[in-house]
Amino acid sequence: MSTTIPPARPAAPPRRTALPRRVTPARWFSDLGWRHLVGVLAVVYAGFPLVYVVSASLADAGTLTGSNELFASVSGANYVALGDTKFWTWMGNTLVVAVATGVGTVLMGAAAAYAFSRFRFSGRRVGLTALLVIQMFPQMLAFVAIFLLCISLGNVVPVLGLDSKLSLICVYLGGALGVNTFLMYGFFNTVPREIDEAAKIDGASHAQIYWTIVLRLTAPILAVVGLLSFIATFGEFIIARVLLQSEENWTIAVGLYGWVSSLQEANWGLFTAGAVLSALPVLALFLFLQKYIVGGLTAGSVKG
Amino acid sequence: MSLPATRGSGRTGWSPGFLVKLALIALVDALGVYAVLAAWSAESWGLLAAMVALLLVANWAYFSKRALPLKYILPGLAFLLVYQVYVVAYTGYVAFTNYGDGHNSTKEQAIEALLVQNERRVENSPSSPLTVVAQGDTLGFAIVSPEGVVEAGTADEPLAVVDGATVEADRVTALPGYEVLEYAAVLERQQEVTDLRVAVSEDPNDGSIRTQDARTGYVFTSTLTYDAASDTMTDTTTGATYTPNDDGQFEAADGSTLPVGWRVLVGLDNFVTAFGDDRYAGPFGKILLWTFAFAVISVASTFLLGLFLAIAFNDARLRGRRIYRTLVILPYAIPGFLAALLWSGLLNRSYGFVNQVLFGGAEIPWLTDPLLAKLAVLGVNLWLGFPYMFLICTGALQSLPGDVLEAAKIDGAGRWRTWRSITLPLLLVATAPLLISSFAFNFNNFTLIYMLTGGGPRFDDASVPLGHTDILISMVYSVSGLDGTAAKDYGLASALSIVIFLVVATISAVAFRRTRSLEEIA
C-alpha cells in the first residue's frame, strides 16, 4: 500500500499549480465555455418560437406570410381586433372553469388526504390502493362515456348536460381525487401528528384542527396542487371540445383551435395575439411559483 | 390517544361551524330533492336511484357520529364515483355494444322513430278543422271531430278530449288549459306549425295529426306497422315483414334492414373489428406501432436533451446560470395547445416561418408528408418536453449524495467511470417513476397530435378518417365521430379506449415494479 502512494504524489502538485496561474482558452472552453455555447443554443431553441409569436402578434398584416419578418412592424391592431371576437368571453369561461376546478380540487383533495392521513378506519388501505389503480385510467380516455353520461344527465338536470360550464367543472372535479390525493397524502404525513393531538387535548374539534392547523401547515402543497390543476384545466382540450357546443361557452383552447384550423393564414394575427394574452397568466404564475411547482413535481412522483 | 373521541366537535351546541354545516347540507338536500323530482318526471330511474342513494349517504355521513372519515372523503368521492369510476365502467359496457349512429337508443324508441319517420298522409283520409293552440311556448293542435267533440294535444302529449271548449263555426275560440293563437302568431311560427306532429294516441301505430295550412288537420299514418305480439314490423306498401336480428335492427327475409336500429350487446365484435376488419385492422396496426414509437422516442429524446442541459448548467462556476435556466424552461410554462398550434403555423408548407426564413423559401411539406410529419411531431414534442426533463434532472443531480461521489473519487474512479457507475444509476432511480408517467402522458398526448397535424396526412388506402401521425387516442376521437367527420361509432371507440387502458396500465404496473426493485438495490 504505502509503496503505491509516493509515485502519485509528485504528479499531483504541478497540475494543481497550473490551474490558477494561466487559464488557456482551450482549457476555459473545455471547462466552462462549452457550457455557455450550449446555453446560448438552448436559449435560442427554446425562445425563438416565443419571440416569433410576440412579433407576429404585433405585426399589422395579421397573416401568416406577413409575420415572417420579425418585428418588421409594431402595432396593436391584432389586440384591438380581439375585441370584435369572442376571445374575451372564452378567456372569461376558461378562467371561471380553471379557477373553480383548481379551488374545488384543492378542497376535496385536501379533505380526502386529511382523512387518509389522520384517521384509521376500515377500508383505508383498500381506498388508497383503489385510488392508485384509478389513477392509471386517465379520465380523458373515457370522453365518449362522459359525453353519453352528460346527455342523460342533461335530460334530467339541464345544467349538468352538454354545453354547460358547470357540467365541465363537475367532470374535471371527478378527476381531482385520483390525481392529487397521493401527492397531498404524502405531504400531510410529514406534518407531525403531535400537533393535532396537542390541539385535541386543548379541546379543538376535528374540523377546527383541519381548517386552522393542518391546512395552514400544508399551504405550500395546496398551492402547488391548485396551480397544477389550474394549468392543466386551462389547457385541457378534448373534454371541453366534446362537451361545449355553443361558441359562447367555449374555452380558449377550443376557440383558438377553431381559428387556426379554419383559415390559418387569415386568422394568424388574431391567434398569435390571443396566444400571447392567454399564455401570460399561466407564464406569470409559473415563473412566480417555479420553485414550489418543481418541488411538488418531484416530491409527488418519487414518493407516490 | 386514550382521550374520549372528539367530544366537542361542534355537535353539542349551535356553534358557527355547525350552522355553516347545516346550511350547506340544507342546500345540498334542496338541490338533491330537485334532481330527484326531475329524474322522476323524466322517468330516469337509474339516475333517481343514484341520487337518492347519494343524498341518504350524505345526510348520514354528516349527521352521524360514526362516520368521521367519510365526512372528509365524501365530496371528492361522490365526484370520483360519478365522473371517473362510473364513466370508466360505462366505457367498458359501451365497448361491448353497437352504440352509435343507427343504434342510438332503446328498442322502443327505435320502433317509435321508425313509425314516425315513415308516416304518410293516407289517401282520402279524413280531415278535420284544426286550430293552433299553445301551452306556454309549446305549440299544440286542437281539432273538432265530426261529432263536435274537441280534442287537443302537443308534440309530447297525444290528443285528448278537452271539455269546456268554445267552438264557433268549426273553429275553437277558447280552450281551457290552452291559449288559442291568433293568425299573426301562427304566421310567425309557420315552420314550427307545419313541422308539428301530434300523436293520435299513445300507440304510434295510430299515426298523427299534421297540418299544412294551420286550418285543416290530416291524419298521417305510418306505412310501417308494428305488431307487439309477434315483434315484427310490416311494410304495408310492399307487404314485407321485418323481424329483429341480433344486430339490433329489423331485417326482412331478403336481408334488407330498416334504417333505425337500437343498442344491443354485440360481444367482442368491436374488438374483432379493430383487430380484424379490413378497414380498421391495417390502420390500427400502424397506429399502434406509431403510438409506441412516438411515446418511447419522445421520452428518450426529451430526457436525453434535458439531461444534457442539466449537466451543462450544473456547474457552480457558470455565470448567468439562473438566466439560462429560466429561459430554457419557458416552453414548459406555455400551455401545450398553444405551442402545438403555434408550431403548426411555423411549419406551414407555403407561408410558415421555418420554410420561408430558415430554409429560404423551400416548400418542405413538414406536416403533409408521412415521414416528415412524424419527424415534425417528434421535434415539436422535444421542444415541448425537454424543459420538464431538464427540471427533474437538475433536481436529481443536485440531490445526489456527495459522499458517494467523493468515495468514488477516492477509490480512483475517473470522470467517465463515476458517471457510468454512480451518477447515472442514481439519477435513473430518482427519475424513473417520472419517465413512466411521461410515457403514459405521451401515449395519450391527444392535444399535440390533434392540434399539430390532426392525425394527417391521411392513409391513402383507408376508408376511415385516420392518418400517419394518428395515435390511439386521436384514433378513438376520429372513430367516435364526435368531431362530425365520420359516422358515430361509440362502441368501437370505447373498445379502443379499453385497449389503450390495458396497454398503459400493464406498462405502468410492470415498470413501477421494476423501479421498486431498482430502488431497493440503491
Over the stretch B188-240, which tens digit does the pLDDT of each residue have? 888 888 888 888 887 777 778 888 777 788 888 777 778 778 788 888 777 77
Share of chain B above pLDDT 70, in %: 96
List the single residue in A64, A170, A200 with the smallest CB-CB distance to B351.
Answer: A64
Do B76 and A181 lie within an 8 Å CB cutoff?
yes
A302: pLDDT strictly greater than 70:
no
- Tell me what pLDDT residue A21 has: 53
Strands of B232-235's sheet, edge to edge? B224-227, B232-235, B241-244, B250-252
Stronger pLDDT, A110 or B108, i.e. the higher one: A110
Of the pLDDT bands very low, low, confident and very high (cuts 50, 70, 90), residue B517 is low
Q: Which long-range contacts (CB under 8 A, 24 or more apart) does B187-193 make?
A: B189/B139, B190/B214, B192/B139, B193/B132, B193/B139
- Tell me what pLDDT residue A295 has: 62
B377: pLDDT strictly greater than 90:
yes
Contacts of B286 (CB under 8 A, 6+ apart): B459, B468
Of the pLDDT bands very low, low, confident and very high (cuts 50, 70, 90), residue B5 is very low
B123: pLDDT strictly greater than 90:
no
Q: Which of B337, B366, B391, B439 to probe the A interface (max A CBs under 10 A)?
A: B337
Of the pLDDT bands very low, low, confident and very high (cuts 50, 70, 90), residue B8 is very low
B154 contact A CB<8A: no
In sign, the C-alpha dihedral spanning A87, A88, A91, A92 is: negative
Q: Convert the pLDDT of each residue in A252-262 to its tens digit.
A: 999 999 888 87
Grid coordinates of A212: 386552522
Are B138 and B154 contacting, i.e. CB atoms less than 8 angstroms apart?
Answer: yes
Do B451 and A260 lie within an 8 Å CB cutoff?
yes
A167: pLDDT strictly greater than 90:
yes
Predicted complex ipTM: 0.83
Residues of B in contact with A155 (CB under 8 A): 42, 44
Of the pLDDT bands very low, low, confident and very high (cuts 50, 70, 90), residue A298 is low
Grid coordinates of B288: 399502434
Stretch A47-76: mean pLDDT, rounded?
81
A239: pLDDT strictly greater than 70:
yes
Residues of A in contact with B35 (CB under 8 A): 156-157
CB atoms within 10 A of CB B463: 11
Q: What is the DSSP string of B82-151?
A: IIIIIHHHHHHHHTTB--BTTB-B-HHHHHHHHHHHTEEEPTT--EEEEEEEEETTEEEEEEE-TTS-EE
- Mean pLDDT lowest among A129-143, A159-173, B118-132, B383-397: B118-132
- Mean pLDDT lowest among A140-149, A204-213, B177-186, B491-500: B177-186
Of B180, B274, B306, B473, give the one whose Cα is nearest residue A294. Answer: B306
- Report how far apart the first and last C-alpha atoms of chain A are (Å, whole number): 47
List the single residue in A46, A65, A141 with the smallest CB-CB distance to B328.
Answer: A46
Q: Give how far A41 is from chain B: nearest CA, Å.
A: 10
B1 contact A CB<8A: yes
Stretch A215-228: mean pLDDT, rounded?
85
Between the alpha carbon of residue B351 and those of residues A18, A73, B213, B359, the distances in Å are 56, 18, 56, 12
Q: Give how far A237 is from chain B: nearest CA, Å.
A: 7
Q: Give how far A170 is from chain B: nearest CA, Å.
A: 7
B474: pLDDT strictly greater than 80:
yes
Do A49 and B90 lie within an 8 Å CB cutoff?
no
Q: What is the mean pLDDT of chain B?
A: 83
Q: Convert the pLDDT of each residue in B283-302 to its tens digit.
A: 888 899 999 999 999 999 99
- Tell me what pLDDT residue A297 has: 57
pTM attached to this predicted model = 0.81
B residues 287..316 contacting A (CB < 8 A): 308-309, 312-313, 315
Do A206 and B68 lie within an 8 Å CB cutoff?
yes
Q: What is the mean pLDDT of chain A?
A: 82
Of the pLDDT bands very low, low, confident and very high (cuts 50, 70, 90), residue B518 is low
List the single residue in B336, B480, B504 with the smallest CB-CB distance to A136.
Answer: B504
3-state helix, strand, coil in chain B (%, to 5): 55, 15, 30
Residues of A in contact with B263 (CB under 8 A): none
Which CATH code of 1.10.3720.10, 3.40.50.2000, 3.40.250.10, 3.30.420.10 fits the domain covering A85-303? 1.10.3720.10
Annotated domain spans of chain A: 24-80, 85-303
- Tell me what pLDDT residue B433 has: 78
- Tell me what pLDDT residue B7 has: 43
Alpha-carbon span B509 to B284, nearest angstrom: 24
B9: pLDDT strictly greater than 60:
no
Q: Which long-range contacts (CB under 8 A, 24 or more apart) does A180-183 make?
A: A180/A105, A180/A109, A180/A225, A180/A228, A180/A229, A181/A109, A181/A112, A181/A113, A181/A116, A181/A131, A181/B76, A182/A131, A182/A132, A182/A135, A182/A300, A182/A304, A183/A221, A183/A224, A183/A225, A183/A296, A183/A299, A183/A300, A183/A304
Residue of B nearest to A200 (CA): B6
Residue of B nearest to A131 (CA): B80
Stretch A48-65: mean pLDDT, rounded?
83
A&B contacts, CB < 8 Å: 297
Alpha-carbon span B314 to B324, nearest angstrom: 11
B505 contact A CB<8A: yes
Of B435, B447, B436, give the one whose Cα is nearest residue B505. Answer: B436
Residues of B in contact with A174 (CB under 8 A): 79-80, 82-84, 87
Alpha-carbon span A163 to A175, nearest angstrom: 19
Of the pLDDT bands very low, low, confident and very high (cuts 50, 70, 90), residue B376 is very high
Do B9 and A127 lie within an 8 Å CB cutoff?
no
Residues of B in contact with A256 (CB under 8 A): 337-338, 341
Grid coordinates of B323: 438566466
Of B242, B235, B276, B222, give the one whose Cα is nearest residue B112. Answer: B222
- Mean pLDDT lowest among A81-90, B161-170, B383-392: B161-170
B residues 445..474 contacting A (CB < 8 A): 446-447, 450-451, 454, 473
Do B451 and A257 lie within an 8 Å CB cutoff?
yes
B514: pLDDT strictly greater than 70:
yes
* Residue B181 DSSP label: P
- How many secondary structure helices (H) and strands (E) does chain B include? 20, 15
Q: Which of A144, A184, A210 to probe the B interface (max B CBs under 10 A)?
A: A144
A285: pLDDT strictly greater than 90:
no
- Tell me what pLDDT residue A127 has: 87
- Tell me what pLDDT residue A147 has: 92
A96: pLDDT strictly greater than 80:
yes
B108: pLDDT strictly greater than 60:
yes
Burial class of residue A240 (count of CB atoms within 10 Å of its CB; 0-12, 13-18, 19+): buried
Alpha-carbon span A85 to B385, nearest angstrom: 32
B361 contact A CB<8A: no
Residue type (1 letter), B221: T
List the single residue in A137, A253, A297 with the smallest CB-CB distance to B337.
Answer: A253
Q: For residue B251, list its beta bridge partners.
A: B243, B257
Alpha-carbon span A136 to A150, nearest angstrom: 23
Q: Give how far B194 is from chain A: nearest CA, Å.
A: 26
Share of chain B above pLDDT 90, in %: 15
Beta strands B216-222; B127-135: pairing state? antiparallel
Are B352 and B345 contacting, i.e. CB atoms less than 8 angstroms apart?
Answer: yes
Of A146, A155, A139, give the one whose Cα is nearest residue B490. Answer: A146
Q: Convert the pLDDT of each residue in A128-157 to its tens digit.
A: 888 877 777 788 888 999 999 998 899 888
A177: pLDDT strictly greater than 80:
yes
- Tell me what pLDDT residue B281 has: 81
Grid coordinates of B260: 333505425
- Tell me what pLDDT residue A293 has: 65
Residues of B in contact with A301 (CB under 8 A): 433-434, 437
Q: Give how far A191 is from chain B: nearest CA, Å.
A: 17
B492 contact A CB<8A: no
Q: Give how far A258 is from chain B: nearest CA, Å.
A: 10
Q: Convert the pLDDT of each residue in B28-77 to its tens digit.
A: 999 999 989 988 888 888 889 999 999 999 989 888 888 888 888 898 89
Stretch B410-423: mean pLDDT, rounded?
86
Alpha-carbon span B6 to A197, nearest angstrom: 11
List the single residue in A46, A141, A155 with the smallest CB-CB distance to B444.
Answer: A141
Residue of A nearest to B319 (CA): A36
- Mean pLDDT lowest among A38-47, A155-164, B172-181: B172-181
Burial class of residue A265 (count of CB atoms within 10 Å of its CB; 0-12, 13-18, 19+): middle
